[in-house]
Structure 1
Amino acid sequence: MKNTRRLFLKLTGILSLGLVNRFKAFGHTESSPVLGEFGAKYDSQVSGFSETGKSIIGNYGKWANGLLEGKLPSHSYRRDKWKDIEDWKNKALKITKDKLAAPDLGGTPKFTIDKQYAYDGLLIEEISWKLPTGGRSEGIVLKPANAKGKLPGVIAFHDHGGWKYFGKRKITRTSDERHPMMVDHQKMYYEELAWANEVAKRGYVVLVPDAFTFASRRVLLKDVPENLRQGLNDDNPDLPENAKAYNDWAKGQEDTMAKSLFSAGTSWPGVFLAEDQKALDILCNREDVQADNIGCGGLSGGGMRTVFAGGLDPRIKCAVCVGFMTTWKDLVLHKSFTHTWMTFAPGLPPALDFPEILGLRVPLPTMVLNSIEDGLYSLDEMQEADKILSAVFDKAGAGDKYNCTFYPGGHQFNKKMQEDAFDWFDKWLK
């Protein structure tokens, strides 16, 4: 009962990207409320959370959707004008990079191994490196303890989950002692599994980096003007009550960060991409990694990072996007309020629909895993996204390299989904 109550309390306080499920995951059968970015409740079973013919931006919805509706984006590979795949890809990649405006973070970072130990049949390294964006970035590397020679690699992207105090710990397990909030988190979204550990056991070197503004990359309160701290400080941050207070503060900070990034001429997904590519540099340059056999994947916010990194970096030979696939139309009319600023790059939608960003990697192997009752998206638009990606891969003669599956239940990356994802990695990376 204690764990169930703790899970309920988390659900009622959660925000955006990672964070909607149904109570039947905890033994209940009734529909649960889905929570938007600021905790507003909506019925998870109503497509779009709106009445027929209405949108989340009211009467402006028809006009806004009309800016995109009824025409293929200018750089969609589905357009008849694109005959040569390399010509299309070069031009589509250029405009996508221009709109993301990712900052230049220089060459491969030098990292240090801060700790090294064995746990759960794995050799684990806690590593850190410096980035021009500020501060040190931390990551966890996992591989089989008895591994010899070079192994294929996976860069594992953690979710958003409404919890910025945590990052890499959301999908790893490095000792029998775990933070109680992470026990709940893995139970809620991963069927109690640390999925980065599970894929490493299959024979991979796995790197889990903290994302921009999460965990070691989070905004420290001491660096913010006192009048914006809401009376909080950085003392004893690992205490559950302090971690929760930080997470609550960080919700509002997203607006501030997004405005500042736009004002600086970049975007949140652009910064994600830049930092994730530095982590990818580190992984690819390890002596125990097969640099030509690299995969990536993640749930929710990790799925979104998979869309951008997998779509724009050809070093990623196999990508698995979990719980983050829909269309721009869905976000215009129905679902933008269930997501944070981390998703959006102004000016990109007229060039490519959202799934086509991931489609930039065609013909490289690509998997999308959706949940039918995921309240963060409209089911019709998840299905439309599947049709779009299928068309892209079919036109390239690579239909066998694309796989999309819909699972019962809410927002999650459960054991069955993990097994399917890891089988996909095995098929293409080994």
Structure 2
Amino acid sequence: MKPTTFSSRREFIKASTSMAASWVLLPDIDIAFSKPPFNQSPNMTIPKSLIGIYGEWAASLVPNLPALSFRQNKWNDTKKWQKEALAKTNELLSKPNLGKTPAVTLEKKYTYDGLEIEELSWQLPYGHATKAYLLKPQGVQKPLPAILALHDHGGNKYFGKRKIVKLSDDQHPLLKDHQEHYYGGKAWANEIAKRGYVVLVHDTFAFESRRVLYEEVGGFFWGPLKTEGKSDAEPEKPENIQAYNTWASEHEHVMSKSLFCGGTTWPGVVLAEDQVALDILSNRPEVDKNRIGCAGLSGGGLRTVYLGGLDPRIKCAVCVGFMSTWDDFTLHKSYTHTWMLYVPLLPNYLDFPEILSIRAPLPTMVQNNNDDDLFTLPEMKKADVILQDIFKKAGAADHYQGKFYEGEHKFDQAMQKDAFDWFDKWLKS
């Protein structure tokens, strides 16, 4: 039987939610669960979860205040806590050692939309070369603040960096649709560059220039690409892009298992590659390396959590459309998310928002959408309270801002304005 294909992650989620209506917890049901010890009696009424009767038990394995939570009374020294939290998180991420910063090749240079644009590439110790775009205002004369712009996941690995830029009037129709749907019709990397920033947008592991090519894989022959010939035959045709993305989605769990067996994690690999891009951006002569921020929607928001939380060179971070709790993922929403999220055993030490909070007191904004079907609203709000509490305890309550917007999963123009204003406040003053 030919597998069902979906044009977007949202379409997949809605279909999955519809099929699973009888076992996915409804939004208006209380999702607060007891923490250990968990003792199940024969007469207990247990709320439904993604893993059935085992949900409440699984959620109870991690206490309300994990071992390295700054919310614990034993932690009063922010720097001491950060040191221990960073060490444990990096240990569990098991990042690969990528060696020294690679040489960067300038492949093309031109102007568009009032910006100077450079097409760059660099070679990591494994895989195809990473390709990137650097955007900056024309006629830059002095070091400017900079943004590492992190592309989304979106169930679309064929595209990476191109999802958030516009390089000419001739734009691929799928990219135009993507920007209309998620970004209010804007290429947000261009928009913030116009405000006086140097912006670097690169492909991360398994996306676009870094993607896994079907013809290079042995032993995994699921999906339409098996019968439709080489994936790179007329690769820009929408039907071929969709076929590749369907196959790549099914390949994601294979990749994650292989990375675990190789002694690393998917989040660790992505973080390592994002830090190489940060090295490259920091070394640019037109960049003030003490005024660098990062941001991204969805998978880009996830990358912001890890990069912004673990690398103090990010002086200002904006996480968009990716903030909730491990309870949310355990009980309700693990099926909506990429393997780029999961770090085995980390929930024993930090709740998910606490990864980002390691950066406290550095300025941090989190933008959420009330109708975002990737998360449950109560758990998004719980994550916001966790972040508020930690920044307040760190003596920097005004350095954190959590915002909720009406609508579905997106980074629209109103949200972009708030995010860009936040960057201006902390990186331009």
Is contact 2:25–2:332 with CA below 8 Å preserved after alignment?
no
Which amino acid in structure 1 is aligned with residue 191 of structure 2? E
Q: Which residue of 1 aligns with 2:40?
A: none
Superposed displacement of residue 46, structure 1? 4.0
Q: Is the 8 A contact 1:318 1:429 kept in 2?
A: yes
Partner of 1:30: none
- 1:134-173 maps to which residues of 2 (within 5 A)? 134-173=127-166
| Residue matched to 2:389 | 391
* Contiguous gaps of at least 5 residues in structure 2: 32-45
Distance 1:318 1:346, change over 3 A: same
| 1:415 to 1:92, Cα distance in 2 relative to 1, 3 A | same
Q: Which has the higher contact order (CA 8 A, sep 6+)?
A: 1
Deviation at residue 14 of structure 1 after TM alignment? 2.1
User: Letter of the aligned partner of 1:72 in structure 2?
Assistant: L
Q: Counterpart of 1:320 in structure 2: which amino acid?
A: V
| Aligned equivalents of 1:111, 1:222: Cα separation in 2 | 28
Tell whether the 8 Å contact from 1:144 to 1:200 is kept in structure 2 after alignment. Answer: yes
SS across alignment from 1:54: coil
Q: Give yes or no for the alignment of 1:13 onto 2:7.
A: yes
Counterpart AA for 2:162: R
The CA RMSD measured in Å over matched residues stands at 2.2
Choose from 191, 194, 199 the match for 2:192: 199
Q: Find the aligned partners of 2:296 and 2:414 in 1 and give their Cα distance.
A: 15
Work out whether residues 129 and 138 of structure 1, in 8 Å CA contact, stay in contact via their aligned partners in 2: yes
1:308-352 Cα shifts (integer Å, max 9, x gaps): 000000000000000000000000110001111110000100100
Map 1:19-30 → 2, pairs under 5 A: 19=10
Deviations 1:75-130 (CA, angstroms, capped at 9, x unpaired): 00011111211111111100000111111101111111111000000000110000
- Which residue, out of 44, 47, 57, partners 2:27? 47
Q: Identity rate of aligned residues, in percent?
A: 54
Within the candidate set 35, 59, 68, 2:62 is matched to 68
**Structure 1 unaligned runs (5+)?**
1-9, 22-32
Alignment match of 1:223 (pick from 190, 207, 216): 216
The correspondence for 2:107, drawn from 114, 118, 132, is 114
Report the Cα offset of residue 213 of structure 1.
Answer: 0.3
Conserved in 1, the CA contact under 8 Å of 2:144 and 2:196?
Answer: yes
Of 251-260 and 220-229, deviating more is: 220-229
Q: How is 1:207-218 mapped onto 2 (pairs within 5 angstroms)?
A: 207-218=200-211
Contact 1:119 1:174 in 2 (8 A): yes
SS, match of residue 281 in structure 2? helix
Assess, with a 3 A threshold, how the Cα gap between structure 1 residues 102 and 408 changes in structure 2: closer, same or farther.
same
Q: CA deviation at 1:42?
A: 6.0
TM-score (norm 2): 0.90
Secondary structure at 1:47 match in 2: coil
Does the 8 Å contact 2:115/2:136 carry over to 1?
yes
Say whether the 8 Å CA contact 2:7–2:242 is kept in structure 1.
Answer: no
Aligned position for 2:50: 56
Partner of 1:34: 14
Mapped partners of 1:109, 1:201: distance in 2: 28
How many angstroms does 1:222 deviate by?
2.2
How far does the alpha carbon of each residue in 1:15-67 deviate from its partner, in whole angstroms, 9 at most, with x for none?
3xxx479xxxxxxxxxxx72559x96769994299998110100110110110
Match of 2:262 among 258, 261, 264: 264
Q: Deviations over 1:229-264 (max 9, x none)?
A: 623422221121111111111011101100000000
Equivalences, count = 405
Q: Is the 8 A contact 1:136 1:216 kept in 2?
A: yes
- Residue 39 (structure 2) aligns with: none
